Structure 1
Amino acid sequence: MRTPRVVAARRLQRRRERDAAGLFLAEGPQAVREAAAAGVVQDIFGTSHGLTRFADLIAGARGSGARVSEVTDEALAALAETVQPQGLVAVCAQQPVPLRKALERGPRLTAVLAEIRDPGNAGTVLRTADAAGAGAVVFAGDAVDPYNGKCVRASAGSLFHVDVVRAPDPAAAVAAIRERGVRVLAATGYGDTDLDELADSGGLGVPTAWLFGSEAHGLPAELLALADARVRVPIYGGAESLNLAAAAAVCLYASARALRAPATEERSERGAGPTAQ
């Protein structure tokens, strides 16, 4: 049976309804667990099997004030967007962070997704940015909704770990980032700077924001012009190019390694002293 609360939750599958309510759906135990840890869960709907299987998760969410409702398999299937839902769907509060506030926190690594429309790609880049230690991910311009169900699933919980920013004007966002003294690098297959050469020269060891454009159209010319450098990932084999998610992973991890290197070297030097004596 689909109760009024289930019907209301199902409306959140549409962006217009999500934006109006400031809510979204997180599907599956991993996403629900991360959402509960972040304190954004309002309601959890679960089948009898799902509530029993993930009893510890449910108990923790209840302790944080979430309402928990048992629903039929049919009702859960109506809320879920996957073919084989895993028994839990949560209604969560959106928590977008204003760009100004995100920049005030001084992230050393930021990903800017400019006009990226594919939710799977966007969610994967968000997950990769989180893994690489980025502090913020900016969805700029007419980008996909970060609270789109497919994007939420592809992020595998990383949506709740980093500052998620919506910036309607990509150029203004880039300008604001540069004003904070952050180096802006545009990832493009036609870049005049090679990523390996940039890394070898020490050019990645400073606070950096990477610009990524859509897989179909790349970055618009006006954003490329605003970047401090236009960087290409070298292709050593016969592949024509890398897809967006793969290229973003290479770029973000190159920066992550460079940004962590001084601390790693300092720790090594501190540890080497007593051993040498």
Structure 2
Amino acid sequence: MLIRRLAVLLAVSLAASSAQAARCGGDFNSFISSFSAEAQQAGISPSVVSSALGGVSVDPGVLAFDRRQRYTFTKTFEQYVSTRVGSGRINGGRAMLQRHAALLSRIEQQYGVPRQILVAIWGLETDFGKGDMGKLPVIRTLATLAHDCRRSDLFQGELLAALKIVQRGDLPLRDLIGAYAGEIGQTQFLPSSYIKYGVDFDGDGRVDLRHSVPDVLASTANLLHTNGFKMGGSYEEGSENFEAMREWNHAVIYRKTIAYFADRLIGR
């Protein structure tokens, strides 16, 4: 979901360092040259930097979307949930609970996050991987936003994380496709979260959040577990688990929608 975490990015960007802010704007190619040198100093190989950033250009569509994006919910919970959680999505989620029952059981045992929460997030973000995961080259999107002066420091960090995804071998450049803020995969991880919380749960040696359902669901569980989510506790508004979901989305309405959807999936 595109609004996810953008409010957080906007808030944190107010703390941008003057050194980084001074480098934003101006000639885009000069900016990329400077960033490329910094990326190599941070351990990204010259070949990855060259293949990812060579010939990259500004995406005006990303800038236009960023300018018009709203960072707060304008609907009530009732209005919002009615557009996101209908009978079709509930039935689809219940089918996913059955299809992936053994996998979800393993994830519950390892991370202590109930299966209905994971499937609810999966459904809301990309309709269980069948919906829109974004169609934009992540490197171009993040380079555009990193060059823009509004949140340059934040998106430079995300751009560096995206290069790390390529360097680790998790996704090739051709598969590094995402949404308007660089979100990637079936549960829409920002690159920094991909690096921090990504789990190779299918054991193939890489974290693939676009194609591997085990990696997607386990990584989502790892994010919640790492931020304090505990099995068996309430996840309704006001609970510790509800607070733990802030790392997923700061918006109360969105977290209430996750909780509502999760309850409907198990017949509550």
Fold match by TM threshold 0.5: no
Higher relative contact order (CA 8 A, sep 6+): 2
TM-score by length of 2: 0.24
Calculate the TM-score normalised by the size of structure 1.
0.24
From the two aligned structures, give the one with the greater strand fraction: 1
- Which has the larger Rg? 1
